């Protein structure tokens, strides 16, 4: 079945560590996204990528990095520079070229700093 797979489901990070969240899609979508979800703040865009080897900062990119070496994969690294990384992270993909298509989401990763 086509879909988006995020792993791990739960992740614990020690202070000062970098961690990488995985996102893989087999929907053949061009665009991929990372959102952060905090209580009462909805979904905030971290990074997005329209095509392989290209990506743009979203609204809260500081402390995060991404890569897009393959169409199917868009990993997110939460660096030690991110001051408050504890949150729920959602990866999504879409085919904006056709216009009006919805974003499809993975099941999310819950990151906790310990």
Partner 1 sequence: AQTVTQSQPEMSVQEAETVTLSCTYDTSESDYYLFWYKQPPSRQMILVIRQEAYKQQNATENRFSVNFQKAAKSFSLKISDSQLGDAAMYFCAYPLLGTYKYIFGTGTRLKVLA
What are the residues binding partner 1 (CB under 8 A)? 31, 33, 35, 40-43, 45, 48, 50, 58, 88, 90, 92, 94, 96, 99-100, 102-103, 105, 107-108
Of residues 16 and 100, the one with the C-beta less far from partner 1: 100
Compute and round to an integer the Cα radius of gyration of the chain: 13
Cβ nearer to partner 1, comparing 27 with 45: 45
Is 85 in a helix, a strand, or coil? coil
61 vs 80, which CB is nearer to partner 1?
A: 61
If you search the block for the tokens 């974003």, which residue do you land on?
103
Question: C-beta of 79: minimal distance to partner 1 in Å?
Answer: 23
* Closest CB 80 distance from partner 1, rounded Å: 26
∠99-53-49 over CA atoms, to 5°? 35
- Residue 71 DSSP symbol: T
**Residue 48 is encoded by which pair of tokens?**
């997005």
């Amino acid at each position: 079945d086509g879909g988006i797979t995020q792993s791990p489901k739960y992740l614990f990070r020690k202070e000062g560590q970098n961690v990488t969240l995985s996102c893989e899609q087999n929907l053949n979508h061009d665009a991929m996204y990372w959102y952060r979800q905090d209580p009462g703040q909805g979904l905030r865009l971290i990074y997005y990528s329209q095509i392989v080897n290209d990506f743009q900062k979203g609204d809260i990119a500081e402390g995060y990095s991404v890569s897009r070496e393959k169409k199917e994969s868009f990993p997110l690294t939460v660096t030690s520079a991110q001051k408050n990384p504890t949150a729920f992270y959602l990866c999504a993909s879409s085919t904006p070229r056709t216009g009006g298509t919805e974003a499809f989401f993975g099941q999310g990763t819950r990151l906790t700093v310990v």
